[in-house]
Amino acid sequence: MACGQDLGLDDFVFACAAPSDCVRGTKCLTGAGVCVPHETEPGCGNGWLEEGEVCDGDPRGCNACQSIAFGWACSSDAFRRSSCEAEIRFVDVAVGDDHLCAITDAGALVCTGSNLDCTGEATLKATPPDGRYIDVAVGRDHSCAVREDGRVVCWGANVRCSDAGGGVVDTNQAEAPDGDDFVEIASGRYHTCAIRASRNVVCWGDGRAGQLFQERARLDVVSAGDEFTCGVYSTGRIQCVGSDQDGRSTPPSGAFTDVGVGIYSACAVNQDGSLVCWGSPGPRLTPPTSADFIDVGCGHRHCCARRQDDRAECWGLVTNTFGDDPFPDAPDEPFAMIDVGTAQACGLREDGTIRCWGPSFIEAR
């Protein structure tokens, strides 16, 4: 491309190497090598792809499109005008310890993050099998999803590493149950539960603490944590099974519409839209006091809930290199759904793109 060459645009953008190459009213943006309107300033956000930038023209930043896994791609034309655009539309997202998986509107699974298990061995937990899916769940070292034909498929590692230095335990968390009538699925760190069309629940994986529901349970909602699991019956009653340390498997009485189980605590949405939490003490047990919530999820030391206006609110703590900090506020935008991981949260935007926040393996987008 020669200096002064007309690139064929309606507004007559020219290639340039020096100011003299540009016509009146324009100047040479040397980092991009094109003549631009005189008021254009160099740097991130001016809409032109300059040296050192992966993408431009998007408020998330000049390198926002490096990860295709979130459905974003960078488009730029011959004259280096650039933008970050949604390339994939998602309909579901699930986030765990160090990987996440999402389902596209075509039913395909896309995962990103670590493929290592808790022992440091390579697995395929972030490498999903082909197929068409309707729901997905992510644990610490495994992932599971429901196919369009109602069958469950799992992948990853069948191991559990003890947080207390108790070594490695073999589990069957990555071995899916038989059946072709599953409609929903939820994973804890080392176990998973799936609900059949009949609402009967099937759980598998690490059950040493008694955290696996028996199949005779018929649940509207199920949520799995580490060593306990909770479900909501059609009457609104919550039942929890597994470890009752700090009362984590002793839910409050009442009528509820949703429950979110973390590693050491849980929160639920009352039928009036208010929140209640129980389990290990800490700021995560102090939810917002308003009564307009519709669903909730919990991680290690934090929880997030979605309001009737589809905006999310988070509370609790997150541990970093320097100690404990409040978990970051959720972005002020509506989400079609949210999912809460061990140290992060992700929301599915109404346009089918995903945004994550909190310190994690995932760069917020």
Write down the domain spans for the chain: 19-86, 90-357
**Amino acid letter, 27:** K
The confidence score (pLDDT) of residue 64 equals 57
Q: What is the pLDDT of residue 39?
A: 84
What is the chain's length?
365
* Identity of the amino acid at 2: A
Q: Please report how many Cα atoms fall inside a 13 Å half-sphere around the Cα of residue 263, on the Cβ side.
A: 16
Q: How many CA atoms lie within 13 A of 99 on its CB side?
A: 29
Nearest to 198 by CA among 212, 208, 187, 184: 184
- Asked if residues 105 and 349 have their Cβ atoms less than 8 Å apart, the reply is no
Q: What does the CA dihedral 30, 36, 37, 42 come to, rounded to 10 degrees? A: -40
DSSP characters over 220-271: SEEEE-SSEEEEE-TTS-EEEEE--GGGTT-PPSS-EEEEEE-SSEEEEEET
E-strand stretches of 115-170: 133-138, 142-147, 152-156, 159-161, 168-170
Q: What architecture is domain 90-357?
A: 7 Propeller (2.130)
Q: What is the pLDDT of residue 195?
A: 98
Query: What pLDDT score was predicted for residue 202?
Result: 98
Alpha-carbon distance 239 to 246, whole Å?
A: 16
Q: Can you tell me which residue has the tokens 């490498």?
A: 127
Helical spans, DSSP H, in 193-336: none
Per-block average pLDDT, block size 10, for the chain (365 residues)?
38 74 85 83 78 64 52 64 73 92 94 81 83 96 96 90 65 92 97 97 96 95 97 98 97 98 97 97 92 97 97 90 83 96 92 84 42
